[in-house]
Structure 1
Amino acid sequence: MTNAAPLALFLLAVLPVAASAAGPEPGAGGRPNVLFVLADDLGWRDLGCYGGPFETPALDRLAAQGVRFTQAYAPAPICSASRAAILTGRSPARLNFTFVTKPEPGRQSIPGMPLRTPLFTLHLPLEEVTTAEVLAAAGYDTAFFGKWHLNPHHKRYLGWHPEFGPPRQGFTTAVEDFGGHPYNSGRPAGPTPPGTFPDDSLTDRAVEFLTNRPADAAPFYLHVSHFYVHTPVDPRAEWAVEEARGEPGVGGNPRRARYAAFVQTLDHHVGRLLTALEASGHAENTLVIFFSDNGGHPEFARQAPLRGHKWTLYEGGIRVPLIVRGPGVPAGRTVDEPVIGTDLLPTLADYAGVDLADSPLLAGRPLDGVSVRGLFEADPAAIATARDTPRTTLWHFPYYHPETGVAFPTEPVGWNDPSAPFVGPHSAVRVGDRKAVYFWEDSSLALYDLAADPAERTDLAADDPALADRWKRRLFAALDAAGARRPVPADPTLVDPPNPSSP
């Protein structure tokens, strides 16, 4: 692919996109149902079908029955920002939602940090339009079970706020439930019997939703948002931990063994969902999408050969598994063209026959995602178009991580880091196969050719200031177009960080 694209391509990519002219007839049942399963902190290589060492039979089977994407991206390297973008089709930079939710509009306070970061975002504004609202307006039944994390914790950790939870964002059926994850203080204690996994009431509710639907019911959009495999990694399937200890990809590492059992627990409950879907009689006309909200935690997941991990904009922090099965989707195919979580809203609107250009819900509200239905269906023409007209994709993480307990200087981000190196505010932009990562503290930029160097080891701009400057301008133009908030030099006299003009 070309290593550059005019700004017009970026502007085209963020305008509202109409549904494809092919119409909403993917199968005998007309508009498809949608089962969207979102994992939490699942790394790019955690699944067997992605070359991972863990046993994931349900998801491996799903991949064999559909399409597996090798360059699928989360919109952000962290939970809340990514989930907000997935639901709205708008990038975290455009939403000004680039961190996790906080209980008050403060800022990070880290000793010695040289930059002043933007104010925290408290919740997803109700004026933002979600996939659930778009599909509900098109006649879909909408349901949500699991992790929301788009409002400050209400009454308990990750509790839904009554004014900003899923029922206020288009979900007709919505039940707050931690399932069998350790976040659930009421979950049973002790290990499960050999060969069994812990119960999960979150999955039970989703299974019930699928089981009780009559054949002639309206199409549904079911969003199952798992807490697995987020920390604390405390699996009750101790038998699975013991079995994993001797596996080559675990190497006797006790953390990795426990993580293997956690990944297998997630796979088991996804398998339960897929079994219930088959039993319901709706599987033939249901689009199943499996995705992760960001890259894996460095203490447990292994992203190599990709660099980085959750909290970073290197590939390991944002490249994630994406598996799609359903009407019109061929079996056993792999798609290598890039897609991102913001593409889900326009893509599902496309399947539902919704013309977003004429949608009153989205009037004057530009999207960053585009319909990738053709890529879901591995259509040769769509793949060729994606290759010939590379799009511009933007990521923006203008904060520090960790938030507390850090000191300067720190180690650079590497490959399979055993813990999370300190990361300062940074942004990234990809055009075609080229991706630039910009660091706000020293205004430095590194440029990588992902086709030849997916591990991001060779900086093409290291000895070429003019090339680095061109990519800085491209990045700043993308940030300007999105109206992104930026970090600025620390100054106690500043009340609010301004948006400096582009260089």
Structure 2
Amino acid sequence: MLKPLTAAVVLLLGLAPAAVAAPKPNVLLILADDLGYSDLGCYGGEIATPRLDALAQNGVRFTQFYNTARCWPSRAVLLTGFYAQQVHRDRLPTVAGGANGVRQAWARLLPDFLKAAGYRSYHTGKWHVDGKVLAGGFDRSQSMANPGNFFSSRGTAVDDVAQKAPADEKGYYNTIATADHAVACLKDHAANHAGKPFFQYVAFHAPHFPLHALPDDIARYRDRYLDGWDALRNARFAKQKQLGIGTGTLAAVERDLGPPYRYPEAYAKLGPGEAPLPLPWGDLTPEQRRFQATKMAIHAAMVDRMDREIGRILDQLRAMRAYDNTLVVFASDNGASAEIMVRDGGHDPAAAPGSAASYLCLGPGFSGACNTPFRRHKTWVHEGGISTPFIAHWPAGIAARGALRHTPAHFIDFVPTVLELAGVQKPREWAGVRIPAAPGVSLVPAFAADVTIRRDFLWWLHEGNRAVRVGDFKLVAASGKAWELYDMRTDRAEQHDLAGAMPEKARELAEVWQRQTTAFTELAR
């Protein structure tokens, strides 16, 4: 007789009863850093991403998937299944938290729970979670500090042991090194642990600033963006409508909205080509247009290279005959970034853009284009900051091919989804301490059909930017600003504020946001 959980999974995914005897699925989570909603070809972009596009074409794409608007909260959510504020990994109004916050003892990471089902777990790339990697349940790790230089291995630790960067790092590039280690873990697994399922977490730094890319990769895009960010937004939105993703309107550019943090000294270092505001492209000087187009070319090159390296990881899955029974999930930790700064090794204006001696950031003009069709950027909780591409591909378990999934979903849902597929019942306590109920729900039903996953709300708070979504209505506010209300069915671009016309609905959602904030505060204390 089928166990209840296994039987449910078989029914929901439309598998034949014989599939119950198949091995538990492997899980490969691939996370990009500062990737825009529309950067991938399968989400409307012009960047060459054929490997990720193929996963989408042979799996499902979610159109309303959300992250937390920032790197470290998103990673905490993906690995714990809790909102980051619940586990001290982002601030609440009266409770400290953030990049240096330490999780409670009960806030275990996913690998701890997967061990009960015989899984081995591997991590490669950015960590940005508190504590050591292996202490979080992973069996192997190569963690890389947030790179001030994609051409240096400085800050790398292998299995939590710091590594000394070699004197000569010619040939090193962070994105390639990330794939190298991921492939090595898979080869080791095939050779020594073939009878066990695995969870592999590959966290690329690309395309986070500094914009560093290989010369040949940059050359493929060097003149691609000379028509500017306005033309790019329009082209991407037109493609999104063809793909069935862009069904609403295109957000208007907020011409007076620049980076979320001000570093005026950076503009002097970067020179007259920098543009801190997304002005109409024709209003820029020729020098500014060339400089901005070059930055976007480097961003595209970083995404292109990431896709190529993902291809190597997928090839290894095929070589070890694990491809069909591996759930591959791809997402971004937040929207594209409008930040402009110079740090770490600084910026040499004479250096080739994208080289190790340069330090460039994408900035608000092209960041807005990368987040097409939405409004705003990383750190804000308007749709541009929190909307992520989300691809799920699993030949043995997802029958759909190239289908869209429109249900609102969030990183809080990743842990319960994986636990259900692995047949793991999450324990109610850890080391004698009760584990609170987690807010996420399993997405397994959405893998089978375009159904709406029932939930009470989705909630956001980051650096004073706040939002809540209940059904099709979203209440959102930038830090220090009044609430705005939008109907997500027709206005995900957040262009028509309904707060004045529907004050009772706005008040209802504000009460939900405050009630959950209070509840999260009680848990986090």
The normalised TM-score by structure 1 is 0.73
Q: CA deviation at 1:140?
A: 0.4
1:88 to 80, 84, 90: 80
Counterpart position of 1:441? 480
Counterpart position of 2:260? none
Q: CA deviation at 1:240?
A: 2.7
Counterpart position of 1:136? 115
1:246 to 215, 223, 226: 223
Q: CA deviation at 1:48?
A: 0.6
Residue 38 of structure 2 is aligned to residue 59 of structure 1: no
Q: Whole-Å Cα distance in 2 between the matches of residues 19 and 123 of structure 1?
A: 35
SS at match of 2:8: coil
SS at match of 1:85: helix
Q: Whole-Å Cα distance in 2 between the matches of residues 439 and 177 of structure 1?
A: 32
Counterpart position of 1:370? 441
Q: CA deviation at 1:85?
A: 1.0
Q: Is the 8 A contact 2:413 2:441 kept in 1?
A: yes
Q: Whole-Å Cα distance in 2 between the matches of residues 148 and 96 of structure 1?
A: 16
Residue 23 of structure 2 is aligned to residue 30 of structure 1: yes
Aligned in 2, Cα 1:198/1:468: closer, same or farther, shift over 3 Å? closer
> Percent identity at matched positions?
31
Q: Is the 8 A contact 1:126 1:169 kept in 2?
A: no
Q: CA deviation at 1:463?
A: 4.4
Counterpart position of 1:430? 469
Deviation string, structure 1 residues 103-147 (Cα, Å, up to 9, x no partner)? xxxx9xxxxxxx999465624426111111111122101111111
Map 1:266-415 onto structure 2 (within 5 A).
266-298=306-338, 299=363, 300-301=366-367, 302-326=370-394, 327-329=396-398, 330-356=400-426, 363-375=434-446, 377-379=447-449, 383=451, 385-386=452-453, 389=454, 391-397=456-462, 399=463
SS at match of 1:125: coil
Residue 203 of structure 2 is aligned to residue 203 of structure 1: no
Q: Whole-Å Cα distance in 1 between the matches of residues 185 and 170 of structure 2?
A: 29
Deviation string, structure 1 residues 425-480 (Cα, Å, up to 9, x no partner)? 121000111100135635x2100111101110111013444443222112111212
Q: CA deviation at 1:210?
A: 1.5
Counterpart position of 1:482? 520
Q: Whole-Å Cα distance in 2 between the matches of residues 355 and 95 of structure 1?
A: 21
Residue 209 of structure 2 is aligned to residue 231 of structure 1: yes
- Give the AA of the match of 2:142: V
Deviation string, structure 1 residues 323-363 (Cα, Å, up to 9, x no partner)? 11112212211111111111111100000101237676894
Residue 21 of structure 2 is aligned to residue 42 of structure 1: no
Counterpart position of 2:252? none
2:64 to 56, 71, 75: 71
1:184 to 150, 153, 159: 153
Aligned in 2, Cα 1:177/1:98: closer, same or farther, shift over 3 Å? closer
Q: Whole-Å Cα distance in 2 between the matches of residues 307 and 320 of structure 1?
A: 13
Q: CA deviation at 1:282?
A: 0.8
SS at match of 2:466: strand
Paired residues, what number?
405
Q: Is the 8 A contact 2:34 2:336 kept in 1?
A: yes
Give unmatched runs, 5+ long, in structure 2: 155-164, 229-289, 339-362
SS at match of 1:283: coil
Q: Is the 8 A contact 2:88 2:102 kept in 1?
A: no
Counterpart position of 1:258? 298
Aligned in 2, Cα 1:436/1:335: closer, same or farther, shift over 3 Å? same
Q: Whole-Å Cα distance in 1 between the matches of residues 517 and 26 of structure 2?
A: 35
- Give the AA of the match of 1:83: R
Q: Is the 8 A contact 1:446 1:459 kept in 2?
A: yes
* RMSD between aligned residues: 3.1
Q: Is the 8 A contact 2:85 2:97 kept in 1?
A: no
- Give the AA of the match of 2:82: R
Give unmatched runs, 5+ long, in structure 1: 1-17, 100-106, 108-114, 152-163, 400-424, 487-498
- Give the AA of the match of 1:81: P
Deviation string, structure 1 residues 281-340 (Cα, Å, up to 9, x no partner)? 111111111111111112253212200110100001010011111122122111111111
Q: Whole-Å Cα distance in 2 between the matches of residues 352 and 44 of structure 1?
A: 29
Q: Is the 8 A contact 1:182 1:232 kept in 2?
A: no
Q: Whole-Å Cα distance in 1 between the matches of residues 468 and 424 of structure 2?
A: 29
The normalised TM-score by structure 2 is 0.70
Aligned in 2, Cα 1:199/1:227: closer, same or farther, shift over 3 Å? closer
Aligned in 2, Cα 1:121/1:266: closer, same or farther, shift over 3 Å? closer
